Amino acid sequence: MVGRRKLIVVSNRGPVIHDRDTSGERVARRGGGGLVTALRSLVEHHDVTWIASAMSDEDRVVAAEAEEEAIEETARGGAPYRLRLVAHDPSAYDWYYNVIANPMLWFIQHYLWGLAAAPDVDHGLHHAWNEGYVPVNRNFADAVLAELEREPEAAVFFHDYHLYVAPTLVREQAPHALLAHFVHIPWAMPEYWRVLPEPIRRAVHEGLLANDVVSFHTQRWRQNFLRCCEDMLDVEADFSTCDVRIGERFACVRARPISVDPQEFDEVAGSEIVLAEEEAIAAGRPEFLILRVDRTDPSKNVVRGFRAYELYLDAHPEMHERVQMLALLDPSRQDIPEYAEYLGAIQRAARVVNDRFQREGWVPLDLQIRDNFLQAVAAYKQFDVLLVNAIFDGMNLVAKEAPLVNARDGVLVLSENTGAHEELGDWALTVNPFDVAGQAEAIHEALTMAAGERRRRREAIAAHVREHDIAGWIEAQLADLDEARERLGSPLSA
């Protein structure tokens, strides 16, 4: 176990969102997303200052009261940490989040643009980059620099695609700072990045290489990144050590697959509220349950998943009334037209299946659109088949979480384009996300698999996740920071 570190964590979405309750009191709600859970143990074991965007009106009030300083917060479990909220200009934030980060970068990195029709890189896009993405990144960089002034020895830990330019801006002012960046989504191959005009794609790659460590979930995304660096910049990438040389500096590029906290999942799965949710699912389910749990994101490939299920029902009339697909979908990024349209497409595709097959007493596809994590965990325990057919996905934690607590030796049907497939592929039924016929067959194979085989596969996945848990992920990254610090030649503060 390594000593206590001084860390500056930087992510767009912070660990809490402030609000007012009905009596007018300020409350801090836990922020959404897996990152917060993943980084919780950092807060428990190290001195963390977390820099994030002010999201709610109350966040902005908190940021204004703090006068460009951090406030003291307490994590669940009692660990103290410092939180610095950055209030951006609302229009700049809109361009940054709703135009550049999502959909532009997200769609590139998940190969979601159908290039014959979209995107148009027009003045609006350039404007959103210059007046949105860059200024918001500058605000983050300024906050990081202020914190580094306070703690020059602290390591900075950027997260994700919202912050590609910030490391360049920090590096300019703090050439010796220790900077790391984790990219939680796929990295597309060089040709696809050419959707973006040269100065923008260059700024993205230069920004990441301004870090000492750049990490991805899989070797596949890392490899693409190394190729892109060589293709787009005048740098040397070493494909065996996975280091990139930029003049006199190095950036170490690493593959560190994220995981979950198995103990936490065990506890949640056994909690009273999850047991109650599970009872409700068990009371309504037919003999076989096919589950999917996703955000309503085009990268998740929900519509093709429904189509595959329709093909399965077509081919297997003997299973009518004996099977149900339960789709628990968290509505996501609805201010972005592409996302709002995709939610509509999901609803229409579900309607097609139910209109074709529904009978008195049997709803073949139960579509529930809401954010209910505890219900999802209850469903994790109940599935016979878990369908994860993402078009591309950085990791996909559902594929790790659900088999961990599943009580029916359910089978994982897993897209070959998820990060999770690099680790779990041997024990899953692999599908090509575009091949709906193949997915229909995989559903059949999963539902007819012998009990012993189902058990062997599920237990292997659960054992893998227990062994390679979130604590291991964090430790690997701290070791990467040590390695980078050694290269920089200064001893790590303990």
C-alpha 53, offset from chain centre: 17
For ligand G6P, the closer CB: 111 or 362 = 111
Query: Does residue 119 bind ligand G6P (CB under 6 A)?
Result: no
The residues in 374-413 that bind ligand G6P, with binding defined as CB under 6 A, are 394
For ligand G6P, the closer CB: 37 or 432 = 37
Question: What are the Cα distances from residue 235, in Å, to 198, 209, 228, 481?
Answer: 16, 10, 10, 22
- Smallest distance from the beta carbon of 164 to ligand G6P, in angstroms? 13
For ligand G6P, the closer CB: 35 or 208 = 35
Question: What are the Cα distances from residue 295, in Å, to 117, 161, 303, 406?
Answer: 25, 18, 12, 20
d(CA 190, CA 167): 21
Residue from 13, 285, 320, 487 binding ligand G6P (CB under 6 A): 13
- Smallest distance from the beta carbon of 175 to ligand G6P, in angstroms? 28
d(CA 252, CA 243): 4
Question: What are the Cα distances from residue 488, in Å, to 171, 179, 375, 481, 483?
Answer: 14, 11, 47, 10, 9
- Smallest distance from the beta carbon of 401 to ligand G6P, in angstroms? 13
- Smallest distance from the beta carbon of 362 to ligand G6P, in angstroms? 34
- Smallest distance from the beta carbon of 337 to ligand G6P, in angstroms? 15
- Smallest distance from the beta carbon of 106 to ligand G6P, in angstroms? 8
The residues in 69-108 that bind ligand G6P, with binding defined as CB under 6 A, are 102
For ligand G6P, the closer CB: 83 or 440 = 83
d(CA 46, CA 5): 5
For ligand G6P, the closer CB: 13 or 249 = 13
- DSSP helix/strand/coil, 214: strand
For ligand G6P, the closer CB: 96 or 288 = 96
- Smallest distance from the beta carbon of 51 to ligand G6P, in angstroms? 15
Query: Does residue 33 bind ligand G6P (CB under 6 A)?
Result: yes
Q: DSSP for 381-445? A: HH-SEEEE--SSBS--SHHHHHHHH-SS-PEEEEETTBTHHHHHGGGSEEE-TT-HHHHHHHHHH
How is residue 153 written in tokens? 């020895």
Burial group, residue 220, by CB count within 10 angstroms (0-12, 13-18, 19+): middle
The residue behind tokens 């939680």 is: 184
Query: Does residue 254 bind ligand G6P (CB under 6 A)?
Result: no
Query: Does residue 294 bind ligand G6P (CB under 6 A)?
Result: no
- Smallest distance from the beta carbon of 35 to ligand G6P, in angstroms? 6
C-alpha radius of gyration, the chain, whole number: 23
Query: Does residue 184 bind ligand G6P (CB under 6 A)?
Result: yes
For ligand G6P, the closer CB: 52 or 429 = 52
DSSP H helices, 271-315, are 272-284, 302-315
Query: Does residue 6 bind ligand G6P (CB under 6 A)?
Result: no
The residue behind tokens 């994101």 is: 297
Position closest to ligand G6P via CB: 184
- Smallest distance from the beta carbon of 33 to ligand G6P, in angstroms? 5
474 phi and psi, to 5 degrees? -65, -45
The residues in 316-335 that bind ligand G6P, with binding defined as CB under 6 A, are 333
Residue from 70, 86, 185, 379 binding ligand G6P (CB under 6 A): 185
For ligand G6P, the closer CB: 185 or 200 = 185
DSSP lists the bridge partners of residue 362 as 359
- Smallest distance from the beta carbon of 433 to ligand G6P, in angstroms? 17
- Smallest distance from the beta carbon of 32 to ligand G6P, in angstroms? 6
- CB 190 within 8 Å of CB 152: no
Query: Does residue 110 bind ligand G6P (CB under 6 A)?
Result: no
For ligand G6P, the closer CB: 148 or 293 = 293
The residues in 219-248 that bind ligand G6P, with binding defined as CB under 6 A, are none
The residues in 349-368 that bind ligand G6P, with binding defined as CB under 6 A, are none
- Smallest distance from the beta carbon of 31 to ligand G6P, in angstroms? 9
The C-alpha angle 240, 243, 245, rounded to 5 degrees, equals 125
- DSSP helix/strand/coil, 112: coil
Burial group, residue 246, by CB count within 10 angstroms (0-12, 13-18, 19+): middle
Query: Does residue 190 bind ligand G6P (CB under 6 A)?
Result: no
- CB 417 within 8 Å of CB 433: yes
- Smallest distance from the beta carbon of 292 to ligand G6P, in angstroms? 16
For ligand G6P, the closer CB: 305 or 394 = 394
- CB 42 within 8 Å of CB 258: no
DSSP lists the bridge partners of residue 25 as none
Site residue total, ligand G6P (CB under 6 A): 9
According to DSSP, residue 269 is labeled: H
- CB 78 within 8 Å of CB 45: no
For ligand G6P, the closer CB: 184 or 304 = 184
Query: Does residue 188 bind ligand G6P (CB under 6 A)?
Result: no
For ligand G6P, the closer CB: 33 or 119 = 33
Residue from 160, 277, 310, 401 binding ligand G6P (CB under 6 A): 160
**Binding site residues, ligand G6P, CB under 6 A:** 13, 33, 35, 102, 160, 184-185, 333, 394
